[in-house]
Structure 1
Amino acid sequence: MPARHQRLQETTDELRAALAAIREELGLTEAFPPEAVAEAEAFAAAPRLPEADATAIGFVTIDPPGSTDLDQALHLERDGDGYVVRYAIADVPAFVEPGGAIDAEARRRGQTMYAPDGRVPLHPPVVSEGAASLLEGQERGAYVWTMRLDAAGDVVGTALERARVRSREQLTYAEAQERIDAGDAMLGLLRDVGELRIALEEAREGASLDMPEEQITRHGDRFVIERRELLPVERWNAQLSLMTGMEAANLQLRAKRGVLRTMPQPPESDVRRFRKEVHAIGEEWAEGEHYGTFLRRLDRSKPTTLAILQAARRLFRGAGYTVLHDGSMPAELEQAAIGAPYAHATAPLRRLVDRYVLVHCEAIANGREIPEWAAAGLEGLPEIMAESSRVAGTLERESIDAVEIALLAGRIGEEFDAVVVEARKEGATIQLLDPPTEAACDTAAEPGERIRVRLTEADLAARRLRFADA
């Protein structure tokens, strides 16, 4: 084997081993207990479908290529000068026996975990990628949200029912964008509604990171991060999910029962620090402009934008889950980045809390008592989600670190532009501008300063990446 290819193979094997070690350290395994698998197979063989029939509605799904766990399907139509948006969410509660084996394992896992080399699912794949997934041409149970919008895109009426649906097509984002650009009537309404909702988001001072998609590829003997700017349809589609989550919050607030996704406003000190970093990176940010407006107008094709978006993540901290019970109303009800009350309700195949929110909302919307198991299941749920989010965050952060170390392993001694984001006694944390990497650095520079740094260490086995002021 030529030396160049041997080095590439060794680096690839070392990265694969590092990623596997991270998952092992976090106690993550794809395998499910035999009793959970048996329960899932039994439900999949005889699914409990709702009586209501919505299979005549021309739902479609829009997801990344190769997706099999399809949580949402959509359909839009005109309603006078407004719109009717129907959003079907996978009927996961029909496949989970309260207190059963799947339920117990799902409460242990909390959410699907994603890594560069695979994922650890929340539910057995026979359910999450098969019987409950809203796959093309298959009759499935779903929670069907029907939201009526006025001409400005504001929701003026919401209904929710369990019904049978059948997705007409499974589209990728690229395929959906091509259809919209070619004049597809139904999907064209997704553009119209999406733009109206984005305008409403700006009016309520909401914010969205809209991070470009990153893929790790190899060119010769070097790893390269290739970035893909989000297509417009991805932002429009995300607005439907956000709108549904806001309606889920409104239903639960009306009954003062359920669980919200909340997040505080960022402290002014964090906003000032972010503004200093933006200035150091070289982007213009007008005084008085809200950070959400600033983030929305950034040119996603510029290499410095990703560094700004990564720095902005510090403004989106402190998110948690707030349980509503006994008619009490906590002081903190809003999700600050959205600028409104919000609940997780659109990804039950991948997130535990959504199953409970859907059941609460369907009962509230139809004037029925909330099932006892769903109400009781809120006990400890915020803690479960907080712990699973901690694990998911650690998995993402350490996996990204490993990939970045592999990416930079052959560049010891090279110099890079960076911005100091944090200063500590043992050294600073910097944000490289390209590739957009956060790492430790030996420097006396202050936070917000732009400096030139030199790569001094990239040890994949020890998972250490370090720079020095050049």
Structure 2
Amino acid sequence: MPRRHLRVTGAAREPLGAVLRELRTKLDVPEEFPADVVAEAERVAAAPPWLPDRDETAVPFFTIDPPTSTDLDQAMHLSRRPGGGYRVRYAIADVAAYVTPGGALDAEAHRRVTTLYFPDEKVPLHPTVLSEGAASLLPDQTCPAVLWTIDLDADGRTETTDVVRALVRSRAKLDYAGVQKAIDDGTAEEPLALLKDIGLLRGQLEVERGGISLDVPEQEIVASDTAYELAYRAPLPADAWNAQISLLTGMAAADLMLAAGTGILRTLPAAPDGAVGRLRRTAKALHIEWPHHVPYSDLIRSLDPRVPHHAAFLQECTTLLRGAGYTAFRGGETPALATHAAVAAPYTHCTAPLRRLVDRYTSELCLAASAERGVPEWVLTALDELPKEMADGTRRANSVERECVDLVEAALLRHRVGEIFDAVVVDVKDHEQAVGTVQLTEPAVVARVEGGASALPLGERLRVRLAQADPGTAKVLFTPA
């Protein structure tokens, strides 16, 4: 089944609470923080072990996040350079200012690895007194940050990169819909309005280097006090522009570490010929023209996810993004695989340390590289084990995502077994053409279909009957009607 890009909005209570609690037990999800971890977090939140000397609180930073988010990792300020080009200031929460290597907080972060998102609650990487309090870049709160200053030329290409520790102060907590509206109606002030200009320039550079950003609608769990619903969320242009700033920083971080000879990269090998060949066969089945001289990256940019057979093909394209991992290196030796195939350049994770363990380490590696000094010993000690830790944590996060959607889908449809729905076939198994995946128009469900006498019509509309749906015991299953 194609991977689902999941967002959770709100926090419902019952009736799924018990089933979700069972799921957390099944997946061995850590919930309550040990007493010593809480005590350390409360102590350092009240008085951080150290704070940077540099003060950049005069810069009017802003954050862009979903409306309900309070674990704010990034704040930005964008400006024009006097001689032409742009300056990107990107402040990243400085978790290392609070977490002592080898302490209780550090050990617990290595156990958790990532923040996990459930419909009824969030299981954070760090205690909320830090992740949603002292260390979060909340508006009108002075915080320690790892401050990136990246100067771009008039075409959006990186000219210089500087990374330092500094105190920062966000002025505004913005959300994607509000940002999009302000930019579209011309009311955005220049530091925000430049998000579009820089985002579009960086998007064009992505095209030039052969990178890809799949515009696949996200499946969103929307929760109220009494019920769950599912919806499809088409990403806004502002999502893509904001993502380009994060991508820019991740590429700059990779370049810094590679130049210094020590670091950790987010890597993805090129898709094997067999996978691309399968995708070409899928394109043919979906009546999508793909001339041999047209690169894969150019083809997907020509597709409209609102068109059913285009959406089906875009879902299939996600299969080429499997196999991503983390690659650590040291001693000046460049790893054999140093690039991320979807980015089409070296890249790393460095912009979400409140929610992802590895980012705290990449911040330290980049600070050391930028200052041309040695890497802290606590970073070097952990470096070799980080790829495995992140792989394990990412697998658990993916399992949580899949299982949560399955449960909500089953709960949403449990009383509608036997009903007929309109759907589109978005995936067909290679060797079992009567088995695949359908995407319902309403409600926003993506589920397995099987039991027909003939091959499923990939990318075409299909009437399906709900055969089973029972949260906790049976995933949603359809049959051709």
User: Where does residue 412 of structure 1 map in the other structure?
Assistant: 418
Separation of aligned partners in 2, 1:143 and 1:12: 37
Q: CA deviation at 1:76?
A: 1.0
Letter in 2 for 1:92: V
What SS does structure 2 have at the residue aligned with 1:36? helix
Cα distance change of structure 1 residues 255 and 217 upon mapping to structure 2, 3 Å threshold: closer
| Structure 1 residues 223-274: Cα deviation after superposition (integer angstroms, max 9, x where no partner) | 7532232222111111000000000000110011010000011223223333
For the Cα contact (< 8 Å) 2:146–2:363, is it kept in 1? yes
User: Where does residue 228 of structure 1 map in the other structure?
Assistant: 233
User: Where does residue 438 of structure 2 map in the other structure?
Assistant: 431
Letter in 1 for 2:468: E
Q: CA deviation at 1:429?
A: 3.1
User: Where does residue 104 of structure 1 map in the other structure?
Assistant: 107
Q: Which moved more, 1:172-181 or 1:360-369?
A: 172-181
Cα distance change of structure 1 residues 69 and 142 upon mapping to structure 2, 3 Å threshold: same
What SS does structure 1 have at the residue aligned with 2:478? strand
Separation of aligned partners in 2, 1:293 and 1:232: 18
Are 1:323 and 2:325 an aligned pair?
Answer: no
What SS does structure 2 have at the residue aligned with 1:343? coil
Correspondences of 1:242-391 after superposition (within 5 Å): 242-281=247-286, 285=290, 287-302=292-307, 306-391=311-396
Are 1:35 and 2:50 an aligned pair?
Answer: no
Cα distance change of structure 1 residues 328 and 444 upon mapping to structure 2, 3 Å threshold: farther
Are 1:44 and 2:53 an aligned pair?
Answer: no
Q: CA deviation at 1:57?
A: 1.2
Q: TM-score, normalised by structure 1?
A: 0.90
Separation of aligned partners in 2, 1:172 and 1:197: 21
Work out which of the residue numbers 191, 214, 223 in structure 1 matches 2:219.
214
What SS does structure 2 have at the residue aligned with 1:167? strand
Separation of aligned partners in 2, 1:448 and 1:263: 31
Separation of aligned partners in 2, 1:322 and 1:164: 31
Are 1:441 and 2:473 an aligned pair?
Answer: no
User: Where does residue 5 of structure 1 map in the other structure?
Assistant: none
User: Where does residue 7 of structure 2 map in the other structure?
Assistant: none
Q: CA deviation at 1:367?
A: 1.1
Are 1:95 and 2:101 an aligned pair?
Answer: no
Cα distance change of structure 1 residues 23 and 292 upon mapping to structure 2, 3 Å threshold: farther
Letter in 2 for 1:150: D
Cα distance change of structure 1 residues 309 and 13 upon mapping to structure 2, 3 Å threshold: farther
- Alignment size in residue pairs: 459
Letter in 1 for 2:143: R
Separation of aligned partners in 1, 2:106 and 2:234: 37
Separation of aligned partners in 2, 1:72 and 1:250: 20
Letter in 2 for 1:78: R
What SS does structure 1 have at the residue aligned with 2:450? strand
User: Where does residue 67 of structure 1 map in the other structure?
Assistant: 69
Letter in 2 for 1:350: R
Work out which of the residue numbers 421, 438, 463 in structure 1 matches 2:428.
421
Cα distance change of structure 1 residues 449 and 213 upon mapping to structure 2, 3 Å threshold: closer
User: Where does residue 238 of structure 1 map in the other structure?
Assistant: 243
Work out which of the residue numbers 194, 207, 215 in structure 1 matches 2:199.
194
Cα distance change of structure 1 residues 285 and 222 upon mapping to structure 2, 3 Å threshold: farther
Correspondences of 1:154-165 after superposition (within 5 Å): 154-165=157-168
What SS does structure 2 have at the residue aligned with 1:168? strand
Give unmatched runs, 5+ long, in structure 1.
1-10
Separation of aligned partners in 2, 1:146 and 1:139: 19
User: Where does residue 134 of structure 2 map in the other structure?
Assistant: 131
Aligned-pair identity in percent equals 47
Letter in 2 for 1:87: Y
Give unmatched runs, 5+ long, in structure 2.
1-11
Q: TM-score, normalised by structure 2?
A: 0.88
For the Cα contact (< 8 Å) 1:270–1:315, is it kept in 2? yes
What SS does structure 1 have at the residue aligned with 2:359? helix
User: Where does residue 455 of structure 1 map in the other structure?
Assistant: 466
Separation of aligned partners in 2, 1:407 and 1:306: 23
Cα distance change of structure 1 residues 178 and 92 upon mapping to structure 2, 3 Å threshold: same
What SS does structure 2 have at the residue aligned with 1:369? coil
Q: CA deviation at 1:464?
A: 2.5
User: Where does residue 147 of structure 1 map in the other structure?
Assistant: 150
Separation of aligned partners in 2, 1:43 and 1:207: 41
For the Cα contact (< 8 Å) 1:421–1:431, is it kept in 2? no
What SS does structure 1 have at the residue aligned with 2:130? helix
Letter in 2 for 1:30: E
For the Cα contact (< 8 Å) 2:425–2:436, is it kept in 1? no
What SS does structure 1 have at the residue aligned with 2:429? strand
Separation of aligned partners in 1, 2:360 and 2:223: 39
Q: CA deviation at 1:427?
A: 7.3
For the Cα contact (< 8 Å) 2:218–2:233, is it kept in 1? yes
For the Cα contact (< 8 Å) 2:417–2:468, is it kept in 1? no
What SS does structure 1 have at the residue aligned with 2:44? helix
Q: Which moved more, 1:367-376 or 1:398-407?
A: 398-407
Cα distance change of structure 1 residues 91 and 417 upon mapping to structure 2, 3 Å threshold: closer
Letter in 2 for 1:460: P
Q: CA deviation at 1:413?
A: 4.4
Q: CA deviation at 1:302?
A: 4.4
Q: Which moved more, 1:75-84 or 1:96-105?
A: 75-84
Separation of aligned partners in 1, 2:212 and 2:29: 32
| Structure 1 residues 404-454: Cα deviation after superposition (integer angstroms, max 9, x where no partner) | 223333142425442442146797332336345131523465587467443
Q: Which moved more, 1:111-120 or 1:30-39?
A: 111-120
Separation of aligned partners in 2, 1:288 and 1:131: 53
Q: Which moved more, 1:162-171 or 1:301-310?
A: 301-310
Q: CA deviation at 1:209?
A: 2.1
Work out which of the residue numbers 470, 475, 478 in structure 2 matches 1:464.
475
For the Cα contact (< 8 Å) 1:412–1:458, is it kept in 2? no
Work out which of the residue numbers 162, 174, 183 in structure 2 matches 1:171.
174
Cα distance change of structure 1 residues 331 and 282 upon mapping to structure 2, 3 Å threshold: same
Q: CA deviation at 1:195?
A: 0.2
For the Cα contact (< 8 Å) 1:401–1:463, is it kept in 2? no
Q: Which moved more, 1:337-346 or 1:19-28?
A: 19-28
Separation of aligned partners in 2, 1:222 and 1:103: 37
